[in-house]
Amino acid sequence: MIFVNNLIKKGGITMKNFILRLQQARFIKAFRSLQKDVYDNAQAHGFHELENNELHVPTKLALIGSEVSEALEAHRKRKDTEIPHELADIIIRVLDLAESLGIDLATEIIEKHKINVTREFKHGNKRY
């Protein structure tokens, strides 16, 4: 804590930024742990047989798309209580793929969010 206080006094960082960085560090640690758990679980259940095959990535991406379709279908059929589970399936499949590719997805999310918050309203003249 003395180090933090000295850092803040010297103008190296504001308290707000210190807390933000601390929260990000905790998020990254927890997210990395979840990403590894998801990957290990999928592997233990036999879903990594294509990992060294060139079809690994397109197969995993298609499966992510299948979960998006399941969420859409749940919404279409007015089964709104199923939507949270399908959204979870999407994230789980994304985490599994990211881990298999050695991607630090937590850091990528934080960095991409920083870019997104600086963009103008509906950037690129997008309709939606």
Binding-site size for Mg ion (CB under 5 A) equals 4
Q: Which of residues 55-114 bind Mg ion (CB under 5 A)?
A: 67, 70, 86, 89
**Matching residue, tokens 């036999």:** 46
- The least CB distance from residue 55 to Mg ion, in Å, is 21
- The least CB distance from residue 86 to Mg ion, in Å, is 5
Residue nearest to Mg ion (CB): 89
**Which C-beta is closer to Mg ion: that of 8 or that of 87?**
87
Binding site for Mg ion (CB under 5 A): 67, 70, 86, 89
